[in-house]
Structure 1
């Protein structure tokens, strides 16, 4: 969910209340989003915005780290790096150099359910972007030197972003404890020992399996027309054959979770200890988005900012925390998590902070939803939807993430209305369903004590805890 804050939120709410923000009724405005599918299975989404002569060209593959073979964690992200190597017509690095020479920007990213590549360029450069992106969909060339060089790059990336960051290491352990059987419990970048073993065969096997038009979504947002996008897509992507052996997207699913888990992570580099809590939660499903909408609003009510329920209870009333937040990211192919973070005040222990969180959640389940707060959040949500339409990046990103995670264009269009239809009772039912201790992991990120001060009693580990 996109959040507005401060003056922007107040102005947006005022505009919406007076009708200024919606100069024309939604029914009177043409739908800027259209979609079609090529004969080879490539799904294309066009988001028209003629306010400036620029566009964003994005290609999303329905292949992320959760689709990797066992023992090859990190190969999806590894392949993302390798796609910037050469083809028969492009030298290594030439793709990005060409984008830059044409005044654009490009990059890529990998998550659990998708890998995406994008370019932001002037509108008249669309054909060039399609030609190059279609080329590397099937014509990637990889030498052993490319493999060795880029493997070192991703290992160094893990060093910088994970090994040198206690919060990232802690997050890895939380994910591994939360998911008993699903691949979401593995880090997207991969476990280091498996990354070190990635080779040319692993990368090419993943590439040949998943990088095909019938496993991809092309999103073009900006100063374009559907007719022009279709013409170019059929020219450059159309001749690429579909993969007839594309595997069905089946993952190992979670068994019933029947035991609360705890993670204690200690590191001398920790500057700010905090408590983290995650609950297994349902994802946003096509044609059935109501639960996800209720959980999205629940996360805003409980921990969406300084006026949230937890902020009021823990930061202002009891003054046990300097930060209390909640998060729910429902756009995923399989079950996701509902998360809390509590950063205690100086002098407040993690045990006290956790107890305060538990007490506040128990109070919320008794108090229920404040109708005024719910209406205020819905108003802010409507404003955020309006402002999102002004961002090519956000619109292209919204459709790409949704479609690569099992949703449809119709689901994305329906989402704002689904959110507005959520009732207070829907939210309370979602809270009761999800906030179950049996499906939770509670983690403490702690500063490690000097070895000479650690007593034998302090190093005893309860059987249900995972220490590092």
Structure 2
């Protein structure tokens, strides 16, 4: 499901830092030093020296995602606005920025999640000064015509249609709408279909959206790689210092506690594999609690490659093609979903019983402490090994800071991974992995409904 896939997938930026904060000590949990400065206008600038001669990553994290879309009829705008941010300014009309960056050899992209929008540029340090000026210009002075806006709105509608050809979007929409009754997580990052269809008429609103969320206090820069720190900070201060747009907040509806189990079934009109999802409401990811780390370890413990469920359902009995838990951290309480892709519809009851049996064992305190320790080491080691380039480091820093708040949230998360105990897994399961807190999503394809899949 697109929103649940780990990207690996947002409290306004933690306490105010002094204008020139001292470098934070590198630790055995996160092996790089963060130098963090908060400019007078509220923009947070994080620099991370990285041994990458001549290469730098420049990542801008804006704490706005589909979570922030509280107004009826206006869902999907965080993702849509990611597209509009490439439309140019008066100083650099559409296409000119990309031409300049391309001349240096920069790679340029962006993505939106439920909680954050991330813009990433990666390439030679030789072009960093020009890059800073270009990024500062578009974040302060973005401009686009109504016809350009309408053209891009139709492109986003086409993106929706493309995604709708796969069952994943339907699964995601159905689960979100069933599990959430008030919170804005009830719509996907793409937004409700009828809202996407109406986007071409929302030009004026799009300008208000830009003014509301693209503010310095709602934005953090992560600059990772080979650069002169004093020069970079001076250039960032020069280019972004006049950005004075005021921060905006909205009230996000609180999701009431679920009182009894829910279920939703999807009949898919085309041949595909049957799906079975067990999704429990789970707590938000915060830098000052271990919940995100507990969920990461718990996911591997329940259905990872070393789990009894994986050995039974995937390897031995081959009832399931794949087992996943997408425990992507979220800014507000979200879901802890086990997603099973079945080999055949006739195996659904057996798979459901097996998964519930594993959860019950956990609730009963039957936890393999040695396997918990191995999983902790594996998860932490895997995250560190994935941080091979300045871009890897910058994006991971942006994602965890965007969700949890503090710029060094990734370091806190890595530290917490090493402290998860078997007792915490049991306590978490007893509190959250219970039937009144559960939503069951099932999908049956046309071929299965007609007589089973092969």
Q: Which residue of 2 aligns with 1:149?
A: 151
- Structure 2 residue matching 1:197: 3-state secondary structure: helix
Q: Which residue in 2 is equivalent to 1:321?
A: 320
Displacement of 1:450 in angstroms is 10
The residue correspondences of 1:283-432 to structure 2 (distance < 5 A) are: 283-288=284-289, 290-304=290-304, 306-316=305-315, 318-330=317-329, 332-346=330-344, 348-366=346-364, 368-432=366-430
Partner of 2:13: none
Larger Rg: 1
Per-residue deviation, residues 176-218 of structure 1 (Å, max 9, x unmatched): 1111111011011111211122221121010011112121111
Query: Could you tell me which residue of structure 2 aligns to residue 264 of structure 1?
Result: 265
Out of 150-159 and 167-176, give the one that drifted further: 167-176
Provide the C-alpha distance between the structure 2 equivalents of 1:349 and 1:385, rounded to a whole number of angstroms: 34
Question: Does the C-alpha gap of structure 1 residues 362 and 313 become closer, same or farther in structure 2, counting only changes over 3 Å?
Answer: farther
In structure 1, C-alpha distance between the alignment counterparts of 2:391 and 2:30, rounded to whole Å? 21
1:219 matched to 2:217? The reply is: no
Change in CA separation of 1:450 and 1:359 when aligned onto 2, cut-off 3 Å:
closer
Partner of 1:140: 142
What are the within-5 Å matches in structure 2 for residues 167-186 of structure 1?
167-186=168-187
Cα distance change of structure 1 residues 354 and 31 upon mapping to structure 2, 3 Å threshold? closer
Cα distance change of structure 1 residues 450 and 442 upon mapping to structure 2, 3 Å threshold = closer
Matching residue of 2:241: 238
Matched, 1:229 2:227: no
The whole-number CA distance in structure 1 between the counterparts of 2:373 and 2:6 is 16
Task: Structure 2: state its 5+ residue gaps.
Answer: 8-25
> SS state of the match for residue 403, structure 2?
coil
- By how many angstroms is 1:229 displaced? 2.3
The answer to whether the aligner puts 1:187 opposite 2:188 as a matched pair is: yes
User: Contact conserved, 1:57 with 1:118, CA < 8 A, in 2?
Assistant: yes
Give a deviation string over 1:227-275, Cα, whole Å, max 9, x none: 22211110111121141xx223531111111121111101122411120
Residues 278 and 441 in structure 2, CA contact (< 8 A), matched pair in contact too:
yes
The two structures have a TM-score, normalised by structure 2, of 0.88
Cα shift at 1:130: 1.1
Is 2:281–2:438's contact at 8 Å kept on the other side of the alignment? Answer: yes
2:155 and 2:254 mapped to 1: Cα distance?
32
Counterparts of 1:93 and 1:217 in 2: how far apart (Å)? 25
Distance 1:27 1:415, change over 3 A: closer
Counterpart CA distance in 1 for 2:54 and 2:197 is: 44
Residues 301-354 of structure 1, C-alpha deviation per residue, up to 9 Å, x if partnerless?
1122x2123202323455432322323122x21012111012233473323322
* Alpha-carbon displacement from aligned partner over 1:266-289 (angstroms, at most 9, x marks no partner): 11224111201111101221322x
Change (3 A) 1:138 1:347: closer
**What is the 5 A alignment of 1:89-100?**
89-100=91-102
Is the alpha carbon distance of 1:371 and 1:30 closer, same or farther for their aligned partners in structure 2, counting shifts above 3 Å? closer
> Could you say if the C-alpha distance between residues 242 and 148 of structure 1 is closer, same or farther in structure 2, counting changes exceeding 3 Å?
closer
Would the aligned equivalents of 1:123 and 1:224 in 2 still touch at CA under 8 Å? Answer: yes
Distance 2:212 2:28 in 1: 43
Distance in 2 separating the partners of 1:61 and 1:136: 13
The change in CA–CA distance for 1:415 and 1:29 in structure 2 (over 3 A counts) is closer
Question: Match of 2:364, SS?
Answer: helix
- Provide the alpha-carbon RMSD of the alignment: 2.5
**Is 2:206 aligned against 1:207?**
no
Could you say what secondary structure the match of 2:331 adopts? coil
Determine the C-alpha separation between the residues in 1 that align with 2:384 and 2:349: 42
Q: Which residue of 1 aligns with 2:52?
A: 51
Alpha-carbon separation, structure 1, partners of 2:6 and 2:341: 23
